[in-house]
Amino acid sequence: MDFEHKITVLGSTGSIGTQTLEIARRYKGIRLCALSAYSNIELLEAQTREFMPKLVCVADEKKAREFETKVSDLDVKVVSGKEGLLEAAAFRDAQTVVTAVVGISGLLPTITAIKAGKNIALANKETLVTGGHIVMPLAREYGVKILPVDSEHSAIFQSLQGNPKRIKKIILTASGGPFFKKTREELKNVTPKDALNHPNWSMGAKVTIDSSTLVNKGLEIIEAKWLFGVGIEDIEVVIHRQSILHSAVMYEDNAVIAQLGTPDMRLPIQYALTYPDRLPMENNELDFTQYMALTFEKPDTEAFYALELAKKAGLAGGILPTVFNSSDEAAVKLFLEGKISYPEISEIIKNAMEGVKNIPDPSITEILETDKNIKESIYLRS
Ligand code: NDP
Ligand code: MG
């Protein structure tokens, strides 16, 4: 195959990262220039030995030193910390950077990669949620593409081809997560184990918890606003339990174009790497006759009110989407550590949003300072 694409994967040891490497394993034309992880150096070492990148970043400083010893027989440069992550993001050889780190830690590396002229295969939704007003114009200025990896956004991107104009609304589908139909009362006793048990998708811990609270869908509304230039009020969330219709676009004539497929993240990842080409994929063919029905329902915004908080943040703009995101990141961490109850995740977000004065058009420094302050104050109170 004459296809060649040089990529860097930030967060190569995570759910999206490992699936990206699975695609690179199949298509040898996809070359890995740089990789990064936070602390999982065992997996990172195996990936380094297999794909022989020129540069590897271990964000955790102590683990980075250990990693350096492990790979001392290889011709690879090891970097560490936040600076190292930026070095990996800008690493010269790559044409595209797959941003698969979790949380707001994806913001600066994405900006750095754009400034280095790289296309972005964007998995890290927190980047656009917190810095969409900076990242989108920057991508235009540097003439780089932002290709969505998030399955819903990839579906919208695919549905828009051929006609990116006269969009009436975007239909953003949500599985509803493991607690669909549960009342607020029933959510009180949910444990991390219950919340980590997603019915359709196997993902990293943070996004899995976010899917169960519908915070994930809230983040995706804001992500869609930036990617496709639509208003928050023109994005409709629909619960679709089977996760087969990955999202859709309704045009002004009410025609609806959607993308369907099995729930398999390899497809949106591969499409972002091979766009506009579509290369074969194994074990993901959709068998329509396996499904008795595809169902569509309204979300319960009373029990899962974080979705409404996200819309509010998205409509207000400024620093509020950062406050929404950062308070959620802190709350999810505390919930996974067993320090707060499940309903407290949404309560913490609500209180954080009520407790700040909005900053219109915040700078990167203001975004990162707000993130730090919000998280610190939540950790202090727990
Ligand atoms: P994971 O938790 O599985 O992986 C996260 C990756 O980032 C790991 O490589 C991890 O390293 C690294 N990492 C974690 N914290 C930091 C940090 N502070 N600095 C640098 N690197 C860090 O996450 P996912 O793959 O599930 O998700 C990645 C992103 O993609 C998220 O933004 C998520 O919302 C988005 N996404 C994920 C989907 C999925 O199916 N998983 C679907 C759609 C979007 P280590 O392994 O060493 O801890
Ligand atoms: Mg998604």
Query: Mind listing the pLDDT tens digit for each residue in 272-302?
Result: 999 999 999 999 999 999 988 999 999 999 9
For ligand 1, whether the C-beta of 18 sits within 6 Å is: no
Task: Summarize the confidence of residues 116-142 as an average pLDDT.
Answer: 98
**Is the model's pLDDT at 71 over the cut of 90?**
yes
**Structural element, H or E, at residue 109:** helix 107-115
Q: What is the pLDDT of residue 162?
A: 83
The mean pLDDT of 4-23, rounded to a whole number, is 98
Q: Give yes or no for residue 138 having a pLDDT over 80.
A: yes
Residue with the smallest CA separation from ligand 1 atom 4 is 14
Q: At what angle do helices 320-336 and 306-316 cross, to 10 degrees?
A: 150
Average pLDDT on 253-278 reads 97
Residues in the chain, overall count: 382
Cβ of 14 closer than 6 Å to ligand 1, yes or no, is yes
Stretch 15-26: mean pLDDT, rounded? 98
Q: Is the CB of 274 under 6 A from ligand 1?
A: no
Residue nearest to atom 2 of ligand 1 (CA): 204
203-222 average pLDDT score: 97
- Going by pLDDT thresholds of 50, 70 and 90, the confidence category of residue 201 is confident
Q: Which ligand 1 atom is at minimum distance from the Cα of 123?
A: 30
Least Cα distance to 18 among 40, 6, 1, 3 occurs for 40
Q: What percent of the chain has pLDDT over 70?
A: 99
Average of per-residue pLDDT across 26-48? 98
| pLDDT tens, position by position, 90-101 | 999 999 999 999
Indicate if ligand 1 lies below 6 Å from the C-beta of 13.
yes
pLDDT at res. 228: 97
Ligand 1: does its nearest atom lie under 6 Å from the Cβ of 207? yes
**Ligand 1 centroid – CA 102 distance (Å):** 4
Q: What is the pTM (predicted TM-score) of this model?
A: 0.98
Query: 142 in ligand 1 pocket by Cβ < 6 Å?
Result: no
| CA 73 – ligand 2 centroid, Å | 39
Instruction: Give the DSSP letter string of 168-220.
Output: EEEEEEE---TTTT--HHHHTT--HHHHT--SS----HHHHHHHHHTHHHHHH
Q: What pLDDT was estimated at residue 221?
A: 98
Return the pLDDT at 364.
Answer: 98
Query: Residue 57's pLDDT is what?
Result: 98
Whether 59 lines ligand 1, by a CB cut-off of 6 Å, is: yes
Enumerate long-range contacts of 351-354, CB under 8 Å, 24 or more apart: 351/327, 352/323, 352/324, 352/326, 352/327, 352/378, 353/309, 353/312, 353/313, 353/320, 353/323, 353/324, 353/327
CA of 264 to the centre of ligand 2 (A): 11
| Ligand 1 contacts CB of residue 243 (under 6 A) | no
172 exposed, middle or buried (CB, 10 Å; 0-12, 13-18, 19+)?
Answer: buried
Task: Identify which of 138, 49, 124 has the alpha carbon closest to the alpha carbon of residue 85.
Answer: 124
Task: Assign 2 a pLDDT band (cuts: 50, 70, 90).
Answer: low
The bound ligand whose nearest atom lies closest to the alpha carbon of 210 is: 1
Label residues 100-134 b or e (16+ Cβ within 10 Å = b). bbbbbbbbbbbbbbbebebbbbbbbbbbbbbbbbb
pLDDT of residue 1: 55
Cα of 121 vs centre of ligand 1, distance in Å, is 14
**What value does the mean pLDDT take over residues 206-211?**
97
State whether the beta carbon of 17 lies less than 6 angstroms from ligand 1: yes
Q: What is the mean pLDDT of the chain?
A: 97
Over residues 313-334, the mean pLDDT reads 98
With 80 as the cut, is the pLDDT of residue 3 above it?
A: no
Inter-residue contact 113 to 145 (CB < 8 Å):
no
pLDDT for 69: 98
